[in-house]
């Protein structure tokens, strides 16, 4: 299967890159008299991406084109509500039209095409330490980050959920700083504090920089907080000019479904985009609640929300990096709540990645569970949803590490367990390398029928090299025989994850932040405290 990418323009013509043979209909398979369309591992070589990794898709080329054309029609005839005055003026000046509804704007297809065509297709996200910087949009492995703004912390000692504390935030960020598969790092909890929101958010940003040297997401509550985050980033890199040259701090925008860009989130888009920093357009549409019950209808609405947000970012700065984001799911009609760990979320993520790559945009997709505790449900929902996003070729699954209960709860132990889930997903995505060396025909010939691949120098050397190349080494998963496991204490995976988290927190020391930079950041934080306080403020 091709990674689907837009070549030039689209609308009248397909504009989709195809391999030879890609026009062929996929195999038709009947299972219990029901037609199943198979798009995985076709004889033509589809089922692997351009880098030779295993890959997965749910939409055909024609289906993507259909969704795209319906999106352009929706934006031109129905439009979106834009509640931020500057963004509304920019859209009108660029050729959009305002109808009788004062807050609704209809966006012409040409403006959407222009925004997509000029949006950066790849860029580098710079970290405090260069070893943690990485390229986005180059087809590399999926980049992972923590679940965001969790309101509960699951306490290992009590087994109960409680309000997160500052120490919890520090430990979560420090733990993730040490983990190989965590690429983006920031405080993933809402801390209850008496401090004004603006001070709290900026203080969190400064604290994160003290506890991780990986790329981070800045304050995104409104335009002022976005400007504060940008000021902290300027201090970090040395100047505004350097920050524009090196995207360092990302902003998040969550469109309000259906089809609304609210004032505060749109302010955030304008501020980060104007400074050339990455903007994640993260849609959480609920099929059957805030979006049509059909997944195709949800994809259409979500696509319109992302592309209209892209247009707003484009008008602020055509060179601003924008990420197509999807953490959408379905409404469970029986439970009356969002189902974000179900197969619908995985399918929507798969489709969103295909749509994003059709437009040539990097994509962030979902990986979540609806479970309230560390149990089998949490593991299989997170594993299957992450696998879908990784095998689809998502550039990011940012809201992943540690979170469950639909992004509401987190824990140190889940962060560790998620590291193994990520390792499994990445190993699947890497696939199997077939070459003269890896086929090992000479060794099989040498060992022969009934031989032993662990006896002798050459077989042992091969076993070591081959296992290092092809075999996944677990982080906390236990594979020992039962008697060995029992003799070692018979720990559950939760107990093992807790022990691993405590070990890492006891041993890992984040790279220190330059004292002169910290002093300057603290001075800015004090200015924020004075400006936002009324009376005494309790520092967090």
What digits encode the pLDDT tens for the residues 462-498?
999 999 999 999 999 999 999 999 999 999 999 999 9
CATH number reported for the structural domain that contains residue 357 in this entry = 3.20.20.480
- The answer to whether residues 228 and 531 touch, using CB atoms and an 8 Å cutoff, is no
Indicate whether 334 belongs to any domain: yes
Higher-pLDDT residue of 51 and 262 is 262
Tokens standing for 28?
């038709």
- How far is it, in rounded angstroms, from Cα 540 to Cα 166? 7
Indicate whether 159 belongs to any domain: yes
Is the model's pLDDT at 42 over the cut of 50? no
Q: Whose CA is closest to 327, among 270, 214, 250, 408?
A: 408
Q: What percent of the chain is predicted at pLDDT more than 70?
A: 89
Both ends of the chain: CA-CA distance in Å? Answer: 50
DSSP 195: S
Indicate whether 136 belongs to any domain: yes
Is the model's pLDDT at 34 over the cut of 60? no
What is the SS3 assignment for 89-151? HHHHHCCCEECCCCCEEECCHHHHHHHHHHCCCCEEECCCCHHHCEEECCCCCCEEEECCCEC
Q: Whose CA is closest to 338, among 348, 328, 352?
A: 328
Q: List, in sequence order, every beta strand (DSSP E) within 352-503.
A: 363-364, 396-401, 403-404, 409-410
Lowest mean pLDDT among 45-54, 83-92, 119-128: 45-54
pLDDT at res. 102: 83
The DSSP bridge partners found for residue 249 are 216
Question: What is the average pLDDT across 5-25?
Answer: 34
Indicate whether 378 belongs to any domain: yes
Indicate whether 24 belongs to any domain: no
- The answer to whether residues 378 and 385 touch, using CB atoms and an 8 Å cutoff, is no
For 384, how many CA atoms within 13 A lie in the half-sphere containing its CB? 16
- The answer to whether residues 49 and 64 touch, using CB atoms and an 8 Å cutoff, is no
Indicate whether 484 belongs to any domain: no
- The answer to whether residues 21 and 316 touch, using CB atoms and an 8 Å cutoff, is no
Range of the domain at 240: 120-430
pLDDT at res. 22: 39
Confidence of residue 61 (pLDDT cuts 50, 70, 90): very high
The conformational region for residue 96 under phi > 0 = left, psi -120 to 50 = alpha, else beta, is beta
Phi/psi of residue 501, nearest 5 degrees? -60, -45
Confidence of residue 51 (pLDDT cuts 50, 70, 90): low
- How far is it, in rounded angstroms, from Cα 282 to Cα 370? 19
Q: Whose CA is closest to 16, among 357, 326, 304?
A: 357
- The answer to whether residues 106 and 92 touch, using CB atoms and an 8 Å cutoff, is no
pLDDT in tens, 162-186: 999 999 999 999 999 999 999 999 9
Q: Whose CA is closest to 348, among 410, 288, 270, 418?
A: 288
Contact partners, residue 521, CB within 8 Å, separation at least 6: 206, 209, 232, 235, 236
What is the count of structural domains for the chain? 1
Indicate whether 290 belongs to any domain: yes
Lowest mean pLDDT among 35-44, 184-193, 392-401, 414-423: 35-44
- CA triple 299-56-51, angle to 5 deg: 120
Confidence of residue 527 (pLDDT cuts 50, 70, 90): very high
Indicate whether 487 belongs to any domain: no
């Amino acid at each position: 299967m091709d990674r689907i990418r837009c070549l030039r323009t689209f609308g009248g013509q397909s504009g989709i890159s195809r391999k030879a043979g890609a026009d062929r209909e996929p195999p038709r398979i009947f299972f219990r008299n029901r037609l199943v369309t198979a798009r995985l591992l076709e004889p033509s070589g589809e089922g692997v991406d351009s880098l030779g990794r295993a890959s997965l898709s749910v939409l055909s080329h024609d289906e993507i084109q259909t969704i795209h054309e319906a999106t352009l029609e929706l934006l031109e005839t129905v439009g979106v509500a834009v509640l931020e005055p500057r963004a509304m003026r920019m859209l009108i000046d660029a050729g959009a039209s305002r109808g009788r509804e004062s807050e609704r704007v209809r966006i012409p297809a040409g403006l959407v095409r222009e925004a997509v065509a000029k949006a950066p297709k790849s860029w580098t996200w710079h970290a405090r330490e260069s070893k943690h910087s990485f390229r986005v949009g180059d087809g590399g492995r999926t980049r992972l980050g923590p679940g965001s703004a969790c309101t509960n912390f699951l306490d290992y000692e009590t087994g109960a959920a409680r309000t997160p504390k500052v120490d919890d935030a520090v430990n979560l960020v420090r733990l993730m700083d040490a983990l190989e598969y965590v690429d983006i790092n920031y405080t993933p909890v809402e801390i209850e504090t008496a401090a004004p929101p603006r001070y709290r958010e900026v203080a969190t940003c400064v604290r994160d920089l003290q506890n991780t040297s990986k790329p981070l997401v800045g304050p995104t509550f409104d335009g002022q907080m976005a400007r504060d985050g940008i000021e902290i980033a300027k201090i970090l890199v040395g100047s505004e000019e350097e920050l524009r040259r090196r995207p360092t701090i990302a902003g998040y925008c969550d469109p309000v479904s259906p089809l609304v860009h609210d004032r505060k989130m749109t302010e955030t888009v304008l501020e980060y985009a104007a400074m050339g920093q990455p903007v994640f357009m993260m849609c959480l549409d609920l099929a059957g609640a805030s979006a049509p019950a059909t997944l195709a209808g949800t994809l259409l609405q979500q696509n319109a929300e992302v592309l209209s947000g892209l247009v707003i970012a484009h008008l602020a700065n055509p060179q601003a990096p924008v990420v197509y984001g999807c953490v959408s799911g379905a409404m469970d009609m029986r439970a009356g709540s969002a189902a974000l760990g179900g197969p619908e979320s995985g399918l929507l993520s798969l489709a969103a990645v295909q749509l994003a790559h059709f437009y040539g945009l990097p994509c962030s997709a979902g990986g979540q569970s609806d479970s309230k505790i560390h149990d089998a449900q949490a593991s299989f929902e997170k594993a299957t949803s992450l696998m879908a996003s990784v095998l689809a070729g998502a550039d990011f699954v940012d809201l992943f590490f540690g979170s469950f209960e639909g992004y509401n709860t987190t824990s140190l132990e889940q962060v560790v367990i998620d590291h193994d889930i990520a390792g499994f997903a990445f190993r699947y995505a890497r696939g199997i390398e077939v070459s003269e060396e890896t086929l090992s025909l000479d060794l099989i010939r040498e060992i022969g029928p009934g031989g032993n691949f662990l006896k002798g120098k050459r077989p042992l050397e091969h076993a070591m090299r081959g296992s290092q190349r092809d075999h996944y080494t677990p982080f906390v998963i236990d594979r020992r025989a039962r008697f060995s496991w029992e003799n070692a204490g018979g720990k559950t995976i939760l107990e093992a994850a807790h022990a691993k988290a405590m070990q890492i927190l006891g041993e890992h020391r984040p790279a220190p932040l330059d004292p002169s930079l910290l002093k300057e950041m603290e001075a800015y934080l004090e200015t924020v405290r004075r400006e936002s306080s009324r009376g005494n403020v309790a520092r967090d």
